Chain A
Amino acid sequence: MAETTFKAKRKPGPIRFATLGAWGISLLFFLPVAWIISTAFKPKESIVVSPPVFFFKPTFNNITEALSFDNTLDYFIHSIVYSFGSVTIAILVSYLAAYSFSRYKPAGTDFLMFLLLSTRFVPAAAFVVPYFQLFNLLKLKDSYIGLIAFYTMFSIPFSVWILKGFLDGISQRYDETGLVYGASRWHIMFKVILPQVKPGLVASFVFNILFVWNEFLFNFQLGGAKTFGVPVGLFTGSTKGGAIDWAYVASIGTLYVLPLVVVIYAFQKYLLVGLTFGTVRGEV
């Protein structure tokens, strides 16, 4: 296969002290994750021992046991539904908003953009009680609609910012050419421009999924038995038996990061571009 690809192979550079140092620091930071994942596969009796055991016969017992608890699967389903649901809606709404800001530039666009982001200035703790009361009043507590609406609202500001940056980088000549050839605005938005901001969509999707997937406080306060996600499940489940159940924490933790690893790995190609916020683009 090597002959068919024209991509220049990158020659491995000399291994320098700095490179080794960088790797060392990276691995150091990865240790807690490695510990969680390895613990999930350790036999129960060698989890909390001193000195720690590094070599062991991996077992799936911890994971199957954790999954066999009544609520475990429910937590995962809840998490997936409200995370992916809210972020998908948020991206769609944000795209429409960002397109308007970028193309129509309504009076005071800069101020409106600032205002949008300012909703995220206040610490979450300040909102918990008012939201709790609001959700009770509106009978939205422990409902998907309530949680999805809340997380959508939380995801929109960043998404609009990211997407507007990308859209500003896409020349308006594309829109105009489409208009002249008889395309409708909807066609231009979704068939002409949208494919060109894929990295932006992926970047905002991943950023927001990371946030919503890991969010604990509001899920705990505004959710309930029908909508608790994995973070709440992990929190309540880890101390079920009185002592901390490390096998449970490690197993659920491992399963919990899997969807994110899959999402990020699948979109890696776009994410690399996405993290530059699409601002580096030439005229067409």
Chain B
Amino acid sequence: MADLALDVKGLSKSYGNKVVLDNLSFTAATNDFSVICGKPGNGKSVLVRTIMGLETVDAGSIIVRGKDVAKVSAGERNIGYVPQSFALYPHYSVQENIEYPLTLSKATAATKKEAVERVAELLRIKDLLGKKPEQLSGGQKQRVAIARGLAKTTDVYVLDDPLVGLDFKLRERLIDDLRKTQEELKVSFVYLTSDALEALSLARTVMILAQGKIVQQDSLDVVYDLPNSIASMNSLGFPEANILPGELSGTIFTSVLGSTKVKMDSNATNVVAGIRPEGFFIGSGAGSIDAKVGLLENLGSEFAVYFNIKNSDLVTVISRTDNESLAKLKSKNVSISYKPDAVVIFDAQSGKRVGQGVSHV
């Protein structure tokens, strides 16, 4: 399996009775930008720490370049690392911080100079090299931390939510930088994030981390369009998908949206439905329902529209240029309809996907 940069198998970790990583497995292909997306509290930090060797594992293997490193010390794993907190050493200059990993491996001055120039160029921080971390802004610190993570040449890098807490514009720019960087270096990036938007803009391959497990690993399109579980549907996308309780009788699913004919892949009967915001549209037609419009949230190119049907709060998005819908929203009572195939049916107990909508009834 030489084409795998990282192959994690059956990773388990508990603190006392609390299971944090639960027989977790995933693979990251070489030269790929793999994104692990998980909401806070699902074991993301612990997963990073076990991969990096800062935390021991109870069971499982972490195979890097074909070798199990689960019991190898952190320093010997040779994995590039950009920590979530910048952790720039305040008593070193930016330059010294960046070359620190090389200093530790006793690289020559020429190697260090070359490496610093390379990453400083890449992240556009050449003019900061002489400064001390305390003189930098948040975004600059983040760039320096990323540069430090990339300074030592290796082929696998783990980036732990490095853009968290940065402002939106800066994040977009750094996301772009990171993609380019990965392509230029032709190395493997394993990127962990708790931000669904970030995952959407970065990923080619995405893994959904929920309750200490990777619940789905596939290309971004597949995970977004065919989420295999509630957790998977909830983790990707913004605003979050709507989850609706309802009754299933035969192939008819009934909820506040009315009745929908569904195609079931299993004989589960206790089910819920998930529908992404873009599954709704404003206007009457087959299966349309009366809704009360609540808050409109400006997301820039689109609006998140919160509405209420029979005491269920739901959300949809409409484009900023969709003047027709915007005009209709002026009135607080509108008809809202949905695309039946946007309705995904999940088993209420296991959260697994068990069916999909076919048509209005």
A residues lining the B interface (CB < 8 Å): 171, 173-174, 176-184, 187, 192, 195-196, 283-284
Using A181-B101, A183-B104, A196-B91 as known contacts, say yes or no to A284 and B74 having CB atoms under 8 A apart.
no
Interface pair A180/B91, CB less than 8 Å apart:
no
A283 to B138, CA, bound (A): 13
Nearest B-chain residue to A283, judged by Cβ: B85
A29 to B201, CA, bound (A): 68
Nearest A-chain residue to B89, judged by Cβ: A192
Interface pair B83/A176, CB less than 8 Å apart:
yes
Nearest A-chain residue to B75, judged by Cβ: A182
A61 to B275, CA, bound (A): 96
Interface pair A180/B104, CB less than 8 Å apart:
no
Nearest A-chain residue to B78, judged by Cβ: A182
Nearest A-chain residue to B84, judged by Cβ: A173
B105 at the interface (CB under 8 A from A): yes
Q: Which residues between 69 and 106 of chain B lie within 8 Å of chain A, taking CB atoms?
A: 73-77, 79, 81, 83, 85-91, 100-101, 104-105
Contacts of B105 in A (CB 8 A): 182
Interface pair B74/A179, CB less than 8 Å apart:
yes
Nearest A-chain residue to B88, judged by Cβ: A284
B residues lining the A interface (CB < 8 Å): 49, 52-54, 73-77, 79, 81, 83, 85-91, 100-101, 104-105, 152
Task: Tell me how far the C-beta of B119 lies from the nearest C-beta in chain A, rounded to whole angstroms.
Answer: 14
Nearest A-chain residue to B106, judged by Cβ: A182
A283 to B101, CA, bound (A): 22
Interface pair A284/B85, CB less than 8 Å apart:
yes
Using A171-B85, A182-B104, A182-B105 as known contacts, say yes or no to A195 and B91 having CB atoms under 8 A apart.
yes
Contacts of A178 in B (CB 8 A): 104
Task: Tell me how far the C-beta of B22 lies from the nearest C-beta in chain A, rounded to whole angstroms.
Answer: 24
A263 to B87, CA, bound (A): 32
Contacts of A187 in B (CB 8 A): 104
Nearest B-chain residue to A194, judged by Cβ: B91
Task: Tell me how far the C-beta of A213 lies from the nearest C-beta in chain B, rounded to whole angstroms.
Answer: 30
Interface pair A174/B91, CB less than 8 Å apart:
no
Contacts of A174 in B (CB 8 A): 87, 89
Nearest A-chain residue to B74, judged by Cβ: A179
Interface pair B104/A173, CB less than 8 Å apart:
no
> Can you list 15 pairs linking A and B with CB atoms under 8 Å apart?
A173-B85, A173-B87, A176-B49, A176-B74, A177-B81, A177-B83, A180-B52, A180-B53, A180-B77, A181-B100, A182-B76, A182-B104, A182-B105, A184-B75, A196-B91
